[in-house]
Amino acid sequence: MHHDRNGDQMTTSLEVTSELRSTGWLLSARGEIDVTSSTALQAALDVVIDGGAAVVILDDEGVEFLDSSGLRVIVRAGRALSDDGGQLFLRGASGAVARTLEVTGLLERFAEPSRR
């Protein structure tokens, strides 16, 4: 939950859509991934991973904010996929979200092969 200039709480929202493509599952996130909304991302990832997905591409182009709870969800999903022989790839992050992923090493760790 973030606060505006007056200190009032602002609700955060996250929309996650999923689409099965020939290359694997594409999950597109839009909004903010924080302690409040990270459960929505976790739930969307769990559905495709538990359904047997081998490749998941998480498109973060529409993500405006990412905190440690979102990072934890990404790491957990990557580990779950890897444990079953699958892979998680990140795509589309920019600005502060890309910097956060880069500093933590996750941008390189989960880079798509054509983008490494």
For residue 85, being part of any structural domain is answered with yes
For residue 94, being part of any structural domain is answered with yes
Q: What is the CATH number of the domain that holds 102?
A: 3.30.750.24
Q: Between vectors from CA 28 to CA 48 and to CA 37, what angle results, nearest 5°?
A: 85
Q: Report which residue type is found at 99.
A: R
For residue 6, being part of any structural domain is answered with no
Per-residue pLDDT of the chain (116 residues; tens, 9 = 90+): 444 445 555 555 899 999 999 999 999 999 999 999 999 999 999 999 999 999 999 999 999 999 999 999 999 999 999 999 999 999 999 999 999 999 999 999 999 887 54
Neighbours of 74 (CB within 10 A): 24
Domain tally, the chain = 1
pTM of the predicted model as reported, rounded to 2 decimal places = 0.86
* Domain coverage including residue 41: 12-115
